[in-house]
């Protein structure tokens, strides 16, 4: 630790903060949000049984219990949406470049 330069220490600290956020997100989504979704869905099913309604209730997903700001932050850190978008159009972009078409890429 004493032999590290301040810039290296800052990079390590930044990476540790990212890893901590990813761990928090995984724990929240896999444990607590899942548990909340199960409880909400079971409660809705029980109330439907006792009320005699035949209408199927709207099911709740674990993602519904996670703050949208936190979810956007995690998508930025992990780059999930951007990577999916890039993969989706990569073949079309290559075809356009091969044909000599110009565009924003």
Q: Which helix (H) or strand (E) holds 14?
A: helix 6-27
CA distance 29 to 37: 10
Least confident of 25-34, 54-63, 74-83: 74-83
Hey, where are the domains in the chain? 6-66
The model's pTM is 0.55
Residues sharing a CB contact under 8 Å with residue 60, sequence separation 6 or more, in sequence order? 36, 37, 40, 41, 44
* 5-18: pLDDT as tens digits: 888 888 888 889 98
* 24-43: pLDDT as tens digits: 888 888 888 999 999 999 99
């Amino acid at each position: 630790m004493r032999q590290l330069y301040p810039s290296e220490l800052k990079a390590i600290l930044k990476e540790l903060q990212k890893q901590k956020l990813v761990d928090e997100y995984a724990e929240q989504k896999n444990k607590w949000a899942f548990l909340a979704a199960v409880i909400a869905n079971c409660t809705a099913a029980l109330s439907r049984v006792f009320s005699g309604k035949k209408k199927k209730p709207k099911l709740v997903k674990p993602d519904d219990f996670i703050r949208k700001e936190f979810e956007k932050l995690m998508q930025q850190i992990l780059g999930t949406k951007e990577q999916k978008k890039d993969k989706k159009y990569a073949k079309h972009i290559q075809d356009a470049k091969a044909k000599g078409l110009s565009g924003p890429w």
